[in-house]
Amino acid sequence: MATFSTNEFKPGLKVLLDGDPCSILDNEFVKPGKGQAFNRVKLRNLLNGRVWERTFKSGESLEAADVMETDMSYLYSDGEFWHFMKTDGSFEQFPADKAAVADALNWLKEEDVYVVTLYNSNPISVTPPNFVEIEVVETDPGLKGDTAQGGSKPATLASGAVVKVPLFVNIGDVLRVDTRTGEYQNRVR
């Protein structure tokens, strides 16, 4: 297995720390006038999302984590697993558990493409695209003619997300939503 030395630690590098795959966020080289140099490293644990700071002696190394980010389309859920399929034509399928899909759960739509992070070939996280287009399944009736003025109401999307929408939005409308903020962008149709 490849290893990386502290001087190769760059943001985004995936390494194993205490057996868990981590992504390096920041690496600061600190050295006293004379004596041992250190690297103060910030990492995100990819299994639980926790951000952690650890100090290493400069020159120490960590094993590379077999982490891959792959485009996959969402197929269906059987209640326990959410099934995704590679978009490279291999038709290879991967079941993701609830912890892995947590960040995307509100924004899942069949056939849409998500970034699935694989660790040792198992999905550990699913990242939705920045914008999704999903149909409204429940909201108060739209107010005709009120297309410009302020005011908002909650609407439930087919994926289960509840977003604040303008008053003119109706059931059956397809909305564009920013998944990072959960904010309504516009009505697509």
Partner 1 sequence: MRWQPDAALDTLRLRAQVLARVRGFFADRGVLEVDTPLMCQATGTDPHLEALALELAPGDWRFLQTSPEFAMKRLLAAGSGPIYQLCKAFRRDESGQRHNPEFTMLEWYRPGFDDHQLMDEVAALIAVCLPAGDADIPRVCYRDLFRQSLGLDPFAASDDQLLTCARSHTDVAGMVLSRDDMLNLLMALVIEPQLQAPVFVVDFPASQAALAQIGRDAQGSPVARRFELFVAGMELANGYLELTDSAEQARRFTADNSLREAAGLPVRAADARLLAALEHGLPACAGVALGFDRLVMLAAGATHIREVLSFVADNA
Q: Which residue number, 34 or 180, has a Cβ lying nearer to partner 1?
A: 34
Q: What is the x/- site pattern for partner 1, positions 18-47, by CB under 8 A?
A: x---------xxxxxxxxxxx-x-------
DSSP state of 19: T
Query: Which of 76, 112, 111, 72 has its CA nearest to residue 92?
Result: 72
Q: Which residue number, 6 or 106, has a Cβ lying nearer to partner 1?
A: 6
Q: What is the rounded distance in angstroms from the CA atom of residue 44 to the CA atom of residue 14?
A: 9
Q: Which residue number, 54 or 164, has a Cβ lying nearer to partner 1?
A: 54
Rule CB under 8 A: choose which of 53, 71, 97, 110 binds partner 1: 53
- Residue 101 CA from chain centroid, whole number: 8
How many angstroms separate the first and last alpha carbons of the chain?
51
**By CB under 8 A, residue 52 contacts partner 1:** yes
**Quick one: tokens of 183?**
């904010």
Q: By CB under 8 A, which span of 51-59, 104-112, 134-142, 172-180 interacts with partner 1? A: 51-59
Query: Which of 115, 122, 22, 121 has its CA nearest to residue 64?
Result: 22
> How near is the Cβ of 135 to partner 1 at its closest, in Å?
46
Query: Which of 61, 55, 66 has its CA nearest to residue 20?
Result: 66
Rule CB under 8 A: choose which of 25, 45, 56, 63 binds partner 1: 56
Sites of contact with partner 1 (CB under 8 A)? 7, 18, 28-38, 40, 52-60
